[in-house]
Amino acid sequence: MTAANIAQVAGPAALSTAAQPRTALIIRDALPGDMADVQRIYTHHILHSTATFEEEPPTLDDMLARRANVLACGMPYLVAVLGTEVVGYCYASQYRPRIAYRYTIENSIYLDPRHSGQGYGKALLSALIERCEQGPWRQMIAVIAGTNNQGSIGLHRSMGFAHAGTQVATGFKFNQWIDVVFMQRALGAGSTTPPES
């Protein structure tokens, strides 16, 4: 996609529709009113894919609480909006709870399957990386379910992530063993300088 048809908005307010073409993709902070669409997208992936190891769809209240937890940690939770429809979402979260991991975060990204392959995932991940580089974090980890999940692996590779390892047969869903692929990229100065104190 070109910059002409992707609008990225850092804050919760959307751009004026008068200034944007009707088909513009807008990336913005997720609002409580978006979470029903987010829950719908995630439910599809739970029930029909191995992209997540969850097997029971969370409720809307669960999803609202998850968003609140991300925001409480000072991390971004973004949605991609096409017209009035949320077509995807992504967020950053704490990679591990122990204190030494505090400069490392994990990304999660999900698209409405009707809108995959159109560059929206790359627009979302690009915006997420940009936002996270404004914070104190130095490494971003992608935890990808399935060595056959070439869409997600290719997306992350295109955004500068490198393969960091594979855990074989770590998950079991839909009567099959599933590997987990780890990919990683530096944020900002990465490990070339100490973190800010």
In this predicted model, what pLDDT tens digit does every residue of 132-153 receive, in sequence order?
Answer: 999 999 999 999 999 999 999 9
pLDDT at position 11 is 42
Enter the tokens of residue 169: 């047969």
Residuewise pLDDT in 10s, the chain (197 residues): 333 333 444 343 343 344 444 579 999 999 999 999 999 999 999 999 999 999 999 999 999 999 999 999 999 999 999 999 999 999 999 999 999 999 999 999 999 999 988 899 999 999 999 999 999 999 999 999 999 999 999 999 999 999 999 999 999 999 999 999 999 999 999 999 999 86
Beta bridge partners of 8: 27
Secondary structure element (H or E) that encloses residue 104, with its range: strand 104-111
Rounded to whole angstroms, the Cα distance separating 24 from 126 reads: 16
pLDDT at position 20 is 42
| Domain spans, the chain | 3-186
Identify which of 155, 86, 87, 81 has the alpha carbon closest to the alpha carbon of residue 125. Answer: 155
> What does the buried/exposed string (b/e) look like for 76-104 if buried means 16 or more CB atoms within 10 Å of the residue's CB?
bbbbbbbeeebbbbbbbebbeeeeeeebb
pLDDT at position 197 is 61
pLDDT at position 182 is 98
| Cα R_g (the chain), whole angstroms | 17
Enter the tokens of residue 117: 């392959």
Which CATH superfamily hosts domain 3-186? Gcn5-related N-acetyltransferase (GNAT) (3.40.630.30)
